[in-house]
Amino acid sequence: MKAKQAIAFGLGGFAAAAAGGLVARFYLGRRRADREWAAARYPKLEDVGAVKRLTILPLIDWYTAREDLAGEPGVSYLVEADDTTILFDVGYNVRGEHPSPLLRNLEALGVNLEDLGYIVISHLHCDHVGGMRCQRRRTFALSGEPLDLSGMTAFVPEPMTHPTATVEVVEEPRGIAPGVATIGPIGRALFFLGWVEEQSLAVNVAGKGIVLVVGCGHQGVRRITDRAEMLFDEPLYGLIGGLHLPVTASRETLLGIPLQRLAGTGRPPWSPLRKSDVEEVLAYLNGKGLRLVGLSAHDSCDWTLAAFREAFGPAYREVRVGERITVT
């Protein structure tokens, strides 16, 4: 009996220490994020230019526009800005398949890898870099077997490698193509997942303004839009992508545990995301006067999607694999 009590006491102590470590890491990380944000002041990106036409084609997301396309809880968008073609994130490929859902969707939609000009990775999480194995190895993969990406440049928000692509680590906002810029990495501490650096794309559409393309929005929607307003004189026109707002359900579960609600929001378990938090985001974005909004389902629940549809009305666009979103 004493041995069992000692084991139970030891396991309890270990769990308490682990929980204490998570709490300490979270609050230290949050202070770091606030310090870095306060110190990050950048000049206007005056030489980026503008494009006449922007098309965002979801290649990987939860919902699809056609039955022959594959959906999964990951993200990949084809961003076409005039003559520039960018693969923004590369999906999840949960089962490590080859060809991956991304490659199968590319073929079904008539998109050739040779047409890609650049790759942009929003952040180093498995559902954006091609799986957990890629995340652990700090790389990215478009499929379960290696693809030759020689001659292609990938812009990443923290040190990563790739066996054939040229990898450039983005340390601050910069233009990457005519009319297209990265707003630069913005750090945030997530309670369970730890520190993450995430970047978003900003595309300046002539006569319209800035359209933001977002991976998960771990940076927080206010910091994303504040950074864009810091960098551009043009107004914010639209935002397409994920904002991690799983209030009522998770797209992924493990042994009944709602992974996205528990870990994806970045909040500690005693302060879960609530409907009122989504309503604050909606009020904030409505206050920005956005003319185009599309929320990714990969990390937000159906209740949140419905709330966005109602709040933005005709300005709202569905983010579904195979369904183009065009701004001209």
Per residue, the 3-state secondary structure of the chain, as one string, reads CHHHHHHHHHHHHHHHHHHHHHHHHHHHHHHHHHHHHHHCCCCCCCCCCCECCEEEEEEECCCECCCCCCCCCCCEEEEEECCEEEEECCCCCCCCCCCCHHHHHHHHCCCCHHHCCEEECCCCCHHHHCCHHHHHHCCCCCCCCCCCCCCCEEEECCCCCCCCCEEEECCCCEEEECCEEECCCEEEEECCCEEEEECCEEEEECCCEEEEEECCCCCCHHHHHHHHHHHCCCCEEEEEECCCCCCCCCCCEECCEEHHHHHHCCCCCCCCCCHHHHHHHHHHHHHCCCCEEEECCCCCCHHHHHHHHHHHHHHECCCCECCCEEEC
Q: Is residue 17 part of a domain?
A: no
Q: Is residue 124 part of a domain?
A: yes
What's the mean pLDDT in 17-41? 93
Q: Is residue 167 part of a domain?
A: yes
Q: Is residue 14 part of a domain?
A: no
Query: Whole-model pTM above 0.85?
Result: yes
Residues above pLDDT 70, as percent of the chain: 95
Whether 69 shows a pLDDT value over 50: the answer reads yes
**Tally of structural domains, the chain:** 1
Q: Is residue 128 part of a domain?
A: yes
Note down the domain range covering 67.
40-327
* CATH number of the domain to which 74 belongs: 3.60.15.10
Q: Is residue 12 part of a domain?
A: no
Q: Is residue 155 part of a domain?
A: yes
Which band of pLDDT confidence, cut at 50, 70 and 90, is reported for residue 8? very low
Q: Is residue 111 part of a domain?
A: yes
What's the mean pLDDT in 141-166? 97
